[in-house]
Amino acid sequence: MNRNKEPEMNANPNNGEPLIEIRDLKKYFDVADRGHKHKKLKAVDGVSFSIKPGETLGLVGESGCGKTTVGRTMLRLYEPTQGEILYRGQDITKVKMLPYRRKLQYIFQDPYASLNPRLTVSDIVGEPIDIHKLAANKKDRADKIANLLELVGLSSEHANRYPHEFSGGQRQRIGIARALAVEPEFIVCDEPVSALDVSIQAQILNMLENLQHEMGFTYLFIAHDLAVVKHISDRIGVMYLGRLVELFTADGLHKNPQHPYTRALLSAIPVPDPEKNRARKRIILEGDVPNPLNPPPGCPFSSRCAYCKEICTTEVPTLEETEPGHYVSCHFAGKI
C-alpha cells in the first residue's frame, strides 16, 4: 500500500465518493543553481488528498511551501512531474484538458494581474462562454454575462468598462464571475482575498460561501492566514517545504494540532481578548526555511523543530492517521 495515499476519510459527513483526488502528486522544476548545473526544485513532493462534493479543503503554509503549485498542478496549469489527478474517478493527467476546463476552474490571487487590461468586463467574462460555446446567440451571451455580474455583486452596467476602472475587490469579483461562467463543479481559490482590505476580504469570503451553498461548488481554498481558512473550510491541510504535514477538520486542527509546525502556526494567530492574548504561549520557530534546492535529509521540518531526534534527521515520516480523519506526518505524532 502507498502510505502517502490518504486513507478513506471518516471525519467528513459527506459519505459520497471524492469529486477530485490527488495521489502522490509531485511537481519538480529545473532551475540553475548560481550558474552551475541544473537542479531539481521539489515544489510539491508526494502530496495526496481528496475532496468530496460540496466540501471546502483549506490548504495553508508559509510562502514557498508549494500550496499554490498544488492548486495549479491539480488543474494542469502546471504539468505534474509524477502522480495521479483523479476527477470523478478518472485520471486526467494525460488527457486533453479542454473538456474538463468547464468543470475545473481557478480564481487567481492577484486581481490586478489576472485580468487583461485591454478587454472589457464583457469580453473577460464572456471569453469562456465563447470558448465552450455556451451561448446560443449574442443576446443569450449578454444575458449570461449580466446574470453572472449580478451574481457576484456587480451590475450589468459594469460590462462595458475596463479593469482599471474598478477597485481591487471589484476586480476580484470579475475574476470570480469569469470562473463561474462555465458552471464549474470544482474551483481552486488561490489566496483570493490576500491582496484586499480586511473589510473587502469579509465580503468576498461571504460571497464565496453563499455561492457554494446555492450552487454546490467544491473548493480548494489556498491561503496563509489560518483564521481565514478556518472560517471557510471543512478540513485544513498544512504544507511545509512541498509536503503535507497535517490534515484534519478545521475545528479539530485548532483544538488538537499534533505537528510541531501546525502548533507554531496556530500560536501566531492573534486573539481579540488582550488578557488571553498575553497569557498564550507563542511558539517562535528558530532558523529559516531550508533551501528547497538542498533540503535536509529526513523530515523537512527537522532543522527547526524543538522535538527533533536522530530518526528525524535520517527518515522521512509518512502521513499516518492518528485518530479518525486526522493525518500527521511526524515520527512523534500524538506523543509530544
Q: What is the pLDDT of residue 33?
A: 67
Q: What is the pTM of this model?
A: 0.89
| pLDDT of 13 higher than 50 | no
| pLDDT of 9 higher than 80 | no
| Contact (Cβ atoms closer than 8 angstroms) between residue 102 and residue 183 | yes
Q: What is the pLDDT of residues 167-201, one digit of tens each?
A: 999 999 999 999 999 999 999 999 998 888 888 88
What single-letter amino acid sits at 258? Q
| pLDDT of 1 higher than 60 | no
Q: What is the pLDDT of residue 233?
A: 96
- Mean pLDDT, the chain, as a whole number? 89
Q: What is the pLDDT of residue 12?
A: 40
| pLDDT of 210 higher than 50 | yes
What is the average per-residue pLDDT within 243-265?
95
Higher pLDDT, 6 or 27: 27
DSSP H or E stretch at residue 45 = strand 38-51
> Residue 305's closest CA among 216, 232, 241?
241
Q: What is the pLDDT of residue 111?
A: 85
Q: What is the pLDDT of residue 277?
A: 65
> Residue 9's closest CA among 319, 331, 273, 216?
319
